Structure 1
Amino acid sequence: MTEPYDISLTDLRPTQWMQEITQLGDAFGFFEPLGDDHNAVFVEQGDTLLVSFEALPAIQALSKTARPVGFDIANVEGWSCLSVIASQDTWFRDGDVYGFFDQMTDDGFFEDFDQVIFYGAGPCGYAACAFSVAAPGATVVALEPQATLDPNVTEWDDRFTEMRKLSFTDRYGYAPDMLEAAENAYVVYDPHKPLDAMHAALFARAGITRFRARHLGGGMQAHFEQMGILQPLIKSAADGTLDAKDYAQLYSKRRDYPSYCKRLFGAVEPMDRPFLSEVVCSHIVNNFGGPRYRRKLKAIRQARHAQDTGET
C-alpha cells in the first residue's frame, strides 16, 4: 500500500475494520487503542495536521468507502491526519482519551506541524472543541456541537439524558472554555433547531465565529458532504479566509441541494405566503422534478388564480 488515504474499508465488520485501520496506522504513522471505546490512528503525510473526531457507526453508515472523513479531507489537501475514533457516541469523555492528549502535548507532537486543525460534528464537534486546548494556536471547525451535557448548564437539552452520567465538569470539560487557546474557531448550526441554537449561543464569545445553516436539519456533516462544501469549508478555515462572505458563497450551494429545498418548502408551506410557496415549489419542480411537488405547484397556482379572479 503506497497511498494510505485510498484504502477501502467497505463491507467489513467492526473488528475487521479496526484490524485494517491498525495495519494502516502501523505502516504510515501509528495506531493506539485508548481503552475499550476509543482508538487513535495517525497517518503522516504533510506539515499540516487535521485532527478529526469520528464515531465508527457513522463512518460505516455514511461513507461509501467506510473511511474516516478526516482521511478524505486530508487526502485532498496533502495533510497528515490524526483520527480519534469512538465505538459509539461517547462525547469522548474517557480518561484514556484525556491521557492520550496529555501525552501528545507532553511529547510536543502538535508542535511538529506548521498548522493544526481540529474538526468534528455533533458529539464529535464537542470533542473537537474540547480537546483543541491540547494544541494552542489550532484552528477549530465544529458542526452543530454541544457545549456540554452537564445538566446544571444544559438541563433543557433532553436528547441525551442517558449521557448525563458522564462527567462534563472535569478535564477537557466545557467546550467553549477549551477554545480560549485556539487561533480561530468556527461553529456552524441550524438556528431552526432550538436545542442546537441554544448550545451555539453558549459559544458566543471572542475568537469564536458562528455561522447559520438555516433549514438544513440534523446530520449536517452528511449534508455538507453531499453539497460538496465540507472540504472547502475546512480548507478556508485553515487558510484563515473563512468569513461571513466566504461562508455565504459556500452555503449558496444549498439552492442546488434537493434535501434543503424540500425542507425549506416544508417550512414555508404552512406560513400562508402563497407567493413564497410557489417560488420554492417551482424551483423544486424545475430543478429536481417529482410528481408530489408538481401536484402541489398546480394546487398553489389554481388557488392563486381563484383568488385573483374572485372565484370560489
Structure 2
Amino acid sequence: MTNARPIASVSFDLDNVWSFLKTHGDRQWESRPSYLSTATPRLVEFLGESCLTSTVFVIGADADRDDGAEAVHAFATAGHEIGNHSYEHEPWLQRYSAARVAEEIDRTHAAIVAAGAPAPTGFRGPGYSTSPTLERLLAERGYTYDASTFPTWIGPLARAHHLRTATLTAEQREERAHLFGGANQAMLSLRPHRSPSGIAELPVTTMPLLRTPIHGSYLMQLYSVSPRVARWYFGTAVRLCLARRIGMTMLLHPTDLLDRRDAPELDFFPGMAIPARDKYAFMRWVTSTMQRHFTVVGTGDHVTLALEAEGTYAPAR
C-alpha cells in the first residue's frame, strides 16, 4: 500500500441557523430559524458536480422537523452517508452526565432512521466536543467511528474570540469555559486510530507540523482577506499531508457555500460577506485539488481504508 494515494474525505456538518445562534448566545435561536430548504439542494448539487460521495452529520432536532427530514432523505437518496451530530448541538457536550449524552445519541439516531436513512454508524460532536464517556457509549451502541477530535492549539484563541463577541450570561460563559478545547489538543494524532474504548477515531485534519486549521470555515476567513493567500495556504497543507503520508479529512459547513443573503441572521459569522458564487467556485477548487492528490471517499470509508492501509489500530502521530 506504500505506493497508493493517501485516503481523504469530505464531510458536511449540517449545522443550521438556530444552532449557530444558540452557541453565539442569541435568543433568536429559540424560534429555530432554518436555511435547510436553501442549503440542502445547493449542497447536493455541489457534491454531485464535484463527483464526491460525502458524509453529512445531521443534528437530531433538525431531523425531527420537516425540512430536516427532507434534507436527510435528499442526501441519503443521493448516496451520501448520514452521521449523528447530537440532538441539541451544544458544544459543551463533554460536561453532560452519561445519561444525557446517551439521550443525545439515541434521539438523533432514531430521528435519522425515521427520516428514511440507514442507521448511522459515525458520530461527530458539536464544536469538536468529545469525552471517554461519549466514546464508550458510541462503542456500546455499535458505532464504528467518531470524527470529533481536532488536533490544534488554536482552541483557546477561538474561545476567547467567541466569548468576546457573543452576548452571554454568566451561566452561559461557564458552559462555554472549555469550548473548542485546550492547546494540548495539538498533541492528538492526525491519523485514524483506535481510542481506548475500541471505537475508531477520525480526526479533523489540521496543518501537519503547524497544527493550524484547514477546514472550510477557516479557509473562508483567509479567503476574505486574500483569495491568493487562501489557495497558497491550502496548497501548503496538501503538500505537507502528502509528504507525511497523512490523509486529509476536510470538514465543511453549509455556510461555506451560502452568503448573508441566504442567512441574514448569521451576518456575524466569518466569511458571510463573500458572495455565494465565489464560495462555490473556491470550494470546487479545494475539492478538485484534493481529488488530484488523494483517493476521496466518505468518512466511514475513510476510516476503514486508512486503518487497513496503516495495518495497525494504534494511534500514530
Which TM-score applies when normalising by structure 2?
0.33
Normalized per residue, which structure has more strand? 1
Greater C-alpha Rg = 1
Structure with more contact order per residue of length (Cα contacts < 8 Å, sep ≥ 6): 2
